[in-house]
Amino acid sequence: MCIDVLRDMAKAIEKESYRKTVLSILSDPKLSFTEVKPLIELCQAPAAPRKHHFFTGGLVLHTLSVALIAKKLAEVFRDLYGVSIDDSLVVATALLHDIYKFYQYTPDPINGGYRAREDWYLSHDYAIVAELAKRGAPDELIRAVSEVHGLAPFSTIEGLVVHLADSIDARFGEYLQNELLAKIKEVEREGCAVHKVLDELVKKRGLKTAVQLMQQDVEKFVIELKELCKQILTTTQSNVKG
């Protein structure tokens, strides 16, 4: 299960109150203050439909990367500047900062990937703050999560560290996507939407393998994409006839 990797990181959080809060949400991520239900599962969700990590599973991958980057940043800042940084608060904040994005999206059958749903009124940054308050989370965790997306001015180093890690991974993820999409442009001539092909490729191969294939052998990469496009078109035609 894709969420296990996040749960494993949460289990390693030293401060009990943060650990319990994060594990509680990961074990039952449904919002408790509304009757609105998500249209996709957390493991399906992108981080952003047409920006960074737009593909299936992008949200979990982004979350994991932000947590790992934030831990490294905290280590560097602690070693170089002598500042006190709570690793438990850093990891807890990183794991939770985008968690409710999956409520915001629905599959996009035309263009591939996902799009914003039209019947949901609350952005993920407000949703996590509300849910943390509802579940009785520690004030300092609510504060740090609020700071990551600018809902509150920075008053904790931990909130700033996760904010920086979030920006780093979002920009790097977007760079990789643009590199992949540039290569996939060629399959548009075959009649496939590029985002749909890349989403299918990531589901089939994983982002890491897709990037490695692109870097190692572009010609082989494009051939595989064209074959994948043919499969998508065949499936689409079969569904229409059915």
Predicted local distance difference test score (pLDDT) of residue 188 = 80
Query: pLDDT (tens digit, 9 = 90+) per residue, 189-241?
Result: 888 888 888 899 999 999 999 999 999 998 898 888 889 999 988 887 666 55
Predicted local distance difference test score (pLDDT) of residue 69 = 98
**Residues 28-49, mean pLDDT to the nearest whole number:** 94
Q: Smallest Cα–Cα separation from 232: which of 206, 198, 186?
A: 198
Query: pLDDT (tens digit, 9 = 90+) per residue, 183-202?
Result: 888 788 888 888 888 899 99
Range in 35-49, 68-82, 156-170 with the lowest mean pLDDT: 35-49
**Residues 149-164, mean pLDDT to the nearest whole number:** 96
Q: According to the CATH classification, is domain 4-172 in 1.10.10?
A: no
Give strand ranges (E) for 33-183: 105-107, 114-116
**Residues 177-183, mean pLDDT to the nearest whole number:** 87
Predicted local distance difference test score (pLDDT) of residue 170 = 96
Three-class secondary structure of residue 106 per DSSP: strand
Reply yes or no on whether the pLDDT at 7 is more than 80: yes
Predicted local distance difference test score (pLDDT) of residue 187 = 80
Reply yes or no on whether the pLDDT at 141 is more than 90: yes
d(CA 178, CA 195): 11
Predicted local distance difference test score (pLDDT) of residue 29 = 95
**Residues 137-153, mean pLDDT to the nearest whole number:** 96
Residue 62 main-chain phi, psi, to 5 deg = -60, -45
Query: pLDDT (tens digit, 9 = 90+) per residue, 96-137?
Result: 999 999 999 999 888 778 999 999 989 999 999 999 999 999
Q: Dihedral sign, CA of 213, 214, 220, 225?
A: positive
Centroid of chain to Cα 198: 16
Looking at every residue in the chain, the average pLDDT score rounds to 92
Task: Please give the structure tokens belonging to residue 242.
Answer: 């059915």
Predicted local distance difference test score (pLDDT) of residue 238 = 65
d(CA 141, CA 155): 12
Give strand ranges (E) for the chain: 105-107, 114-116
Contact 22, 95 (CB under 8 A): yes
Query: Which strand (E) or helix (H) includes residue 202?
Result: helix 194-205
pTM: 0.93
pLDDT band for position 49 (cuts 50, 70, 90)? confident
For the chain, give every domain's residue range.
4-172, 174-241
pLDDT band for position 144 (cuts 50, 70, 90)? very high
Q: What is the DSSP letter of 12?
A: T
Query: pLDDT (tens digit, 9 = 90+) per residue, 59-85?
Result: 999 999 999 999 999 999 999 999 999
